[in-house]
Structure 1
Amino acid sequence: MILFFFAVLRNPWREISWGDITGERSYVKDFQPQNDDVRHIRVLLYGPVGAGKSSFINSVSNVLRGRMTNSALVSYETHKIQKENRGNYYPFVFNDIMGLEDGAGRGVSTHDIKLALMGHVKEGYKFNPVSPLSAGDPFYNSSPSPDDRVHVLVCVHSANSAEMKSSVLQKMREIRESASDLGIPQLAVVTKIDEACGETDNSLKNVYKSKHLKKKMTDFSSSLGIPMNCILPIKNYSKETCMNVDVDTLILSALRLIIDFGDDYADKL
């Protein structure tokens, strides 16, 4: 239940074409990587426990397939999104990893995420916080191809969460620094915007008018070092049983930036 209602700005601080999803969906459906040696753009999602990483992947699948879908994600597995024709998939994939947790020995280790960025983690690897992956392990990929590497790193964070623990924030900074050293572009997706603000719960179209959400995003930008224009607020599909054009608008807007950023990086490999 939303207990507080926050004032809205007179004019939105970021423009978005609400409801005009045909062009965005067509862009995504026609997308092909520029680099012929890269079959798909690999998107790695990371963030605190409960931020909505798996829900984001399912929501993207919902939007592109035009109906509700559900996919259980386990281990380090590549999640493909099927096109209308069976056996045909979009040329971008997602990898979802277990959430970052407070304290040493809990959640996925930053060491393993750094290896994943470089493509050293094989499909099916189960992250072990107390025993990171090392060379010689059956799930260690010693010779990653351009396809195995991560092309864009996306932090997923809940707008409705309490203040982030310092240890979790430090882990996220370490991951960001590793990606920066590799030249990998980075974005952030802020979820649960409907739960964080009464005005946005009333209408998602208030997202860029909400003073509360703007402050949340500004604080998040300052704490993690991700520029505001790389932070994208969305609402995942959760309790809905049918599609919603405003939900689709925000997800497609975020998805387009994600694949464009990843494609620019992959084209340089």
Structure 2
Amino acid sequence: MQWGDKERYLQYVKAYQPHNKKVKRLRILLHGPVGAGKSSFINSVNTIMQGRMTGAALVDSASVHSFTKKYTTYKIQKGNPRTFYPFIFNDIMGLENNTNTGVRAEDIKLAMKGHVRDGYKFNPISTLSKEDQGYNSCPTVDDKVHVLVCVIPADGVSRLSDEVVGKMRDIRVAASDMGIPQVAILTKIDEACPEVNKSIRNVYKSKLLKKKMEEFSSKLGIPMNRIFPVKNYSSEISLDDDTDSLILCALRQMIDFGEDFRNRM
């Protein structure tokens, strides 16, 4: 990590254009347990790209169940209100222990294949079927997911239940079968480590965070060099260059992995 290089990371993201002309937008799907920070990450990226605090993806810090109920696509505005960056995020209902609560793993698999329409309200009791209005029977290349991102709170790695880990493993195997690249972001690093809370530049010096990353890598099988620690914007009212750098570094990797995948399509 090169501290002080925020502008370099930012310019890379701003200048990104897909090489494969068949695909207009890079689709990044975020999934993970309830309260991991999926919506907050989307808001944080939007905040950095807009240069001001934003909150397009709704967040609820008090709910014990997923606040996100629908399959929602978020575009990042570029310049005027009618132009957008060529990458989009999909937010999804959180994973939970109970089989009758939270998003079903089968629905995430359908989303990766492009079969879930934007705005579909997830039903924890039953998987999306071909007869449902929310089912997209003829997905285009743009509808399909190009990068799968697992979002995990650093302070919750040890508390991940076997049920949730099992669902994430199942989703990961399905994504691998489809050839979809996968990365993970470790959120709430300042809450998990006192040294990082003092200064975010201690993130790669923290033995505690390294241990959390190793533990998560062991549970899910995602390599260490594809797990990116970040701090989302939550209580701040102004931007911080070091916070931005971590988020932009993770975003750049998502774009690179997604671009490699799309060029093979």
TM-score bin (small chain): over 0.9
Which residue number corresponds to residue 22 of structure 2?
37
Unaligned runs of 5+ in 2: 59-67
User: For residues 76-95 of structure 1, what are the structure 2 equivalents within 5 Å?
Assistant: 76-95=71-90
TM-score, L = length of structure 1: 0.93
Does the 8 Å contact 2:190/2:200 carry over to 1?
yes
Report the Cα distance in structure 1 between the residues aligned to 2:100 and 2:169, rounded to whole angstroms: 17
Q: Does residue 153 of structure 1 match 2:148?
A: yes
Matched residue, 1:212: 208
Q: Is 1:70 aligned to residue 52 of structure 2?
A: no
- TM-score when normalising by structure 2: 0.94
Q: Among 102, 126, 131, which residue is 1:131 paired with? A: 126
Shift of 1:113: 0.4
Q: How many residues align?
A: 254
> Within 2, Cα distance between the matches of 1:48 and 1:204?
24
Offset at residue 85 of structure 1 (A): 2.2
Letter in 2 for 1:146: V
Letter in 2 for 1:173: R
In the TM superposition, residue 64 of structure 1 has moved relative to its aligned partner by 1.1
Identity %: 58
5+ residue gaps, structure 1: 1-15
Distance in structure 2 (CA, Å) of the matches to 1:84 and 1:169: 40
Secondary structure, counterpart of 1:189 in structure 2: strand
SS at 1:111's partner residue?
A: helix
Counterparts of 1:44 and 1:231, CA distance in 2 = 15
Whether the 8 Å contact between 2:43 and 2:57 is mirrored in structure 1 is no
Deviation at 1:193, TM superposition (A): 0.3
Higher relative contact order (CA 8 A, sep 6+): 1
Query: Cα RMSD between the aligned structures?
Result: 0.9
Report which stretch shifted further, 21-30 or 181-190. Answer: 21-30
Residue by residue over 1:210-266, the C-alpha shift from the partner in whole angstroms, topping out at 9 and shown as x without a partner, is 000000000100000000000000000000000001100100000000011111111
Q: Matches of 1:108 and 1:82 in 2, distance apart?
A: 28
The equivalences for 1:159-238 within 5 A come to 159-161=154-156, 162-238=158-234
TM-aligned CA deviation for residue 79 of structure 1: 0.3
Q: Are 2:31 and 1:46 equivalent residues in the alignment?
A: yes
- For residue 152 of structure 2, what is the amino acid of its counterpart? H
Query: Is 2:154–2:189's contact at 8 Å kept on the other side of the alignment?
Result: yes
Structure 1 residue 72: Cα displacement: 3.2
Runs of 4+, deviation exceeding 2 Å: none
| Bigger Cα displacement from structure 2, 175-184 vs 83-92 | 83-92
Give the corresponding residue for 1:57: 42
Does 1:109 find its partner at 2:104?
Answer: yes
Q: Distance in 2 between matches of 1:85 and 1:268?
A: 32
Moved more, 259-268 or 206-215: 259-268
Instruction: After TM superposition, give the deviation of residue 84 of structure 1 in Å.
Output: 2.3
Matched-pair contact (CA < 8 Å) for 2:120–2:134:
yes
When structure 1 is superposed on structure 2, of 148-157 and 104-113 the one drifting more is 104-113
User: Partner of 1:173: helix, strand, or coil?
Assistant: helix
The secondary structure found in structure 2 opposite 1:60 is: helix
Give 1:86 deviation, angstroms. 2.2
Q: Which position in structure 2 is the counterpart of 1:247?
A: 243
Helix, strand or coil for the counterpart of 2:109? Answer: helix
Cα distance per residue 1:123-170 (max 9 Å; x no partner): 110111102101122111111100000000000000011420000000
Moved more, 53-62 or 160-169: 160-169
Match of 2:61 in 1: none
Match of 1:5 in 2: none
For 1:72 and 1:148, locate their aligned partners in 2 and report how far apart those are by CA, in whole Å. Answer: 20
Distance 1:262 1:88 in 2: 21
Q: How many angstroms apart in 1 are the aligned matches of 2:79 and 2:155?
A: 34
How far residue 178 of structure 1 moved from its aligned partner, in angstroms, is 0.4
Distance (whole Å) between structure 1 residues aligned to residue 261 and residue 254 of structure 2: 11
SS at match of 2:155: coil
